Amino acid sequence: QYDTSDEATKIGEGAFSRVYRGTYRFAGTVPKPVALKEMKAVVGSSDLDWIAELQIGVQISHENLVNVFGHFTHGNTKCLVMELLAETLKDAICDPNRQLPWKLRLKWCSEVSTGMQFLHAQFPPILHQDLKSNNVLLTEPKAGAGPVAKIGDFGRSKALLSTVVHT
């Protein structure tokens, strides 16, 4: 289910994309809430950014990376179908009405670090190139563990294809 005319389903927007709440329906399965990332046609963005995010998203999987389930196009509109998460790290840390224990903050730092280590350990290594609090998303809290931090937005990511040898 996908309808960008309904502003009530829009949950975020950046320079190169809009994110909507949607539903993934696959024959014979229970409908699943997902995030639909619609790529904007703007100067400075390219099909290469979309392809990079799609390739990285569907080829790798880690508990601290946002899951990408697939993609679709409709006319000139390109969308990624992704895991729906509760909020961004920026929203959580900038909320003046919320007290975040240091233990939880350190847990999120560790989870982001673990996700980045996983990206850098790939062959070839994957460089995110746009890591910021808006691109770290949090799951719904889990019993006794709190929300899990996941790195998202791989549009500017690149695989390091060459190595540098120092002598």
Indicate which residues carry an active-site annotation: 130
CA separation for the pair 145, 3 (Å, rounded)? 35
What gap in Å lies between CA 12 and CA 49, rounded to an integer? Answer: 18
Instruction: Look up tokens 């950046």; give the residue.
Output: 14
What CA–CA distance (Å, rounded) separates 115 from 91? 20
Q: Which residues are CB-contacts of 111 (< 8 A; sequence separation ≥ 6)?
A: 64, 148, 149, 150
